[in-house]
Amino acid sequence: MTSVRISKRLVDSLKPAPREFVQWDADLPGFGIRVRPTGHMVYVVQYRAGAGRNAPSRKATLGAVGKLTPEEARTAAKRMLGAVSQGTDPVGERKRRREALTVSNLAEAFLAEHVEAKRKTTTAALYRHLLDNFVVPALGTKRGAEITRTDVAKLHHKLRDRPYLANRMLAVVASMYVWAGRHGHVEEGFNPAARIEKFPESRRERFLNVEELERLGGAIRKAETDGLPWDPNTSNSKSKHAPKPENRLVVIGPFAAAALRLLLFTGARLREILHLRWEHVDLERGLLLLPDSKTGRRRSFSAPLPSPSLRPCRGPVRMSLRARRTTSHART
């Protein structure tokens, strides 16, 4: 079909054919009108994405005839072809944006491919908690590459009443975008969590005095012998079937009592004691040697020795320790 300058007169004269065809413009190469057999017509631009004959051909739709005038469509075509001459690929960019991961997809890939494979179980659980419960509900439907620093700052500010949680969330988002940049999901160096001021955190540290240590030791002894009383949950409809007060006692086992005493005497973290194994115990020196602590450094704690009748076995440490008075302070 011969090229003719696209004008309103030409648009009005175009008639549909049995097969789709394009009426190209005589003055602006690549600009045309696509006419479908149904009579629907749209303005289009065709160009090559790159240099040379082997560069892929792209065809972009500018808008429907009737919604754009021929001159408006010509102006839009000139703008797009000018961008192409500068090395951009508008159609390719649109396709990449459509295929780009959302924050929800990005978070799931980050957890599966990086965090769960290379971080400790407890760390991975914290990352998933922060992403699933705070980041994804607020930003999950947005494209990962389109998130702004303002978006993350607003989420950070929303958690201001929990500064520790807010700051951990910020660190997780920053880590996720560093990983995404290295793997090509976003432009490398792009990180909307960067340069957002963190909330101040007051360090929580307290030491038990001698009187508190004695009371705690007495409570542990009572819990493993007579048992400690408990109150039913009045909000539960089944609480009316709870035992009578004199029968509401809980007796803890020797392993739970031993774990509580180790926590008290060593100041270790909860999981460091619950996940303790016999190979981490130095019975001769009364030390617990942890090969892999939360900070990555080897840590040792002075601990009371287990009963001589207990022998090391495979699996987690099982100890039955006597309560003993100590004047040393324990972390809480």
CATH code for the domain of 17 = 3.30.160.390
Same domain, 20 and 95: yes
Whole-number Å distance between alpha carbons of 46 and 151: 37
Rounded Cα gap, residues 118 and 109, in angstroms: 13
In a domain, 165, yes or no: yes
- Give dist(CA 223, CA 254) in Å, integer: 10
Last residue of a domain, one of 162, 182, 202: 182
Mark whether 31 and 64 lie in a shared domain.
Answer: yes
CA-based end-to-end distance of the chain: 85
| Sequence-distant (≥ 6) Cβ neighbours of residue 161 within 8 angstroms | none
Same domain, 215 and 269: yes
DSSP reduced 3-state for 104: helix
Query: Residues 92, 120: one domain?
Result: no
Q: Is residue 77 part of a domain?
A: yes
| Residue 23 Cα to chain centre, angstroms | 50
Domain membership of residue 198 (yes or no) is no
Do 160 and 79 belong to one domain? Answer: no
Do 166 and 225 lie in one domain? The reply is no
Q: Which of 259, 251, 326, 257 is nearest to 288 (CA)?
A: 259
Q: Which of 60, 81, 99 is the last residue of a domain?
A: 99
How many DSSP H helices and E strands does the chain contain? 12, 9
95 and 107, same domain (yes or no):
no
pLDDT, position 318: 44
pLDDT of residue 313: 43
Tell me the two tokens of residue 305: 């020795």
Residue 3 maps to a domain? no
φ, ψ at 149 (rounded to 5°): -60, -35
Asked if residue 293 belongs to a domain, the reply is: yes
Q: Are 122 and 167 in contact (CB under 8 A)?
A: no
Tokens of 185: 């999901």
Q: Are residue 263 and residue 215 in the same domain, yes or no? A: yes
DSSP H helices, the chain, are: 8-13, 70-85, 90-99, 103-110, 116-118, 121-130, 136-139, 149-158, 163-182, 210-225, 254-266, 270-274
* Residue 52 and residue 72 in one domain: yes
* Res 275: pLDDT: 83
Q: Answer yes or no: is 196 within a domain.
A: no
Q: Does some domain include residue 289?
A: yes
Split into its structural domains, the chain has a count of 3
pLDDT for res 51: 75
Structure tokens at 332: 């809480």
Contact by Cβ (8 Å): 286, 303: yes
- Cα–Cα distance measured from residue 71 to residue 77, given in angstroms and rounded to the nearest whole number: 10
Q: Are 65 and 35 in a shared domain?
A: yes
111 Cβ contact list (under 8 Å, min separation 6): 124, 127, 128, 131
Last residue of a domain, one of 58, 78, 99: 99
Pairing of strands 299-302, 287-290: antiparallel
Examine residue 321 and state whether it is found in any structural domain, yes or no.
Answer: no
CATH number at residue 162: 1.10.150
pTM of the model as a whole: 0.53
For the record, the structure tokens of 299 come out as 């840590």
pLDDT at 4: 87
pLDDT tens-place values along the chain, 332 residues long = 677 899 999 999 999 999 999 999 999 999 999 999 999 999 999 998 877 777 888 899 999 999 999 999 999 999 999 989 888 888 877 777 666 789 999 999 999 999 999 998 889 999 999 999 999 999 999 999 899 999 999 999 999 999 999 999 999 999 999 999 998 888 889 999 999 999 998 776 777 888 998 999 999 999 999 888 887 776 776 666 667 776 778 899 998 998 898 888 888 888 888 888 888 888 888 888 877 655 555 666 765 555 444 444 444 444 433 333 333 333 33
Tell me which residue range forms the domain holding 26. 8-99
15 plus 95 within the same structural domain = yes
- Token pair, residue 121, equals 């179980």
Per DSSP bridges, beta strands 57-64 and 228-229 are: unpaired
> What was the pLDDT predicted at 170?
97
The distance between the two most distant Cα atoms of the chain, rounded to a whole number of Å, is 104
Residues 110 and 159 in one domain: yes
